[in-house]
Structure 1
Amino acid sequence: MEDSGGRGAVVNPNRLSQVLSSFSETQDRGAFRELYDYYGPRLKQFYMKSGTDEATAEEMVQETFVLVWRKAHLYDVTKAAASTWIFTIARNHRIDRIRREKRFVSKDEHYFETELVAEGDQDENVDQPKMSSIIQKALAELPANQAELVKLSFYEEVTHAEIASRLQLPLGTVKSRLRLAFGRLRKKLAEFET
């Protein structure tokens, strides 16, 4: 249905909850298609905002709807809206997938972690106090929100998910800020290597 301003479809959330409830009882493919058509693009955006590339996000949407199909009998319209229930499944699926694939580590993050701050791995001729001073100075030159994430991630060894939870940030924001921070640190620390 169109809204009066012609901006596109207006969907009543209660109606979608009823559609999901109906599907959970009847396995009606038309109801499932309606849910997929509405939530599919939203789930794709959800996954992409979490740092997932487009192709993987599309794959994860498919996997999420397989889970919705399998778990539909568990849905209770009196306990949660369809959107809450479906996005909870999506969030849990994303967490499970991250756990399976371990933790994404960017090239800059790997460089910082393994070559610059790993204890005991530096060559004997590296001036450790000077290196430490340069790292501290480089961290101080980062925007405060990026420096805080680097300190939590590498000095306190807090996972990306825990940082997101602790700072009440989306996981994708934590990852993108860390990528920016590591890119800046790599450039700054490259001066030391020359």
Structure 2
Amino acid sequence: MAAFEALFMEFSPRIRAYLLKLTRNNQAAEDLMQETMLAIWRKAGQFDPDRGKASAWIFTIARNIWIDAWRKQKRPAFDPDDPALVPAAEPEAGDMLELKQSGAALHAALKTLPEEQVELIRLSFFEEDSHSTIAARTGLPIGTVKSRIRLAFGRLRTALEEIK
């Protein structure tokens, strides 16, 4: 306790002056100096004289505490009106009806395709497998997978145009 008191008497004015130069605010420098001295008290067991002087260690702690305080101060305030935090608007009834009709038309068009092509489309677009993964799963060459998917799209396009 006596050693810390001596350390406090020796370093607190110097730390306060250093922090005053950084903050340009008397109260902030005083608060950060107190916080620095508490950190030194808590971390005293971590000091290694082989790694450098005690004063360098102490002023490093003071600088890090100042940086932390500065970062907290620079953090933007929470804005509840931020567009990223506003939920998406509910779609209108007409849009929902159109989406439902489009989905039904797609399902009807998929029923016109051979099962093999439906499976390739399901793997590619609903399970999001790559063409090489689909080729490995089905045992088909990758070129065949690509051409069958392209053929399925052509047939889907034709079927959807007929449904409309």
**Larger relative CO (CA 8 A, sep 6+): 1 or 2?**
1
Q: Which has the higher helix share?
A: 2
TM > 0.5? no
TM-score range, shorter chain: 0.3 to 0.5
Name the TM-score, length of structure 2 as normaliser.
0.44
Bigger Cα Rg: 2
Name the TM-score, length of structure 1 as normaliser.
0.37
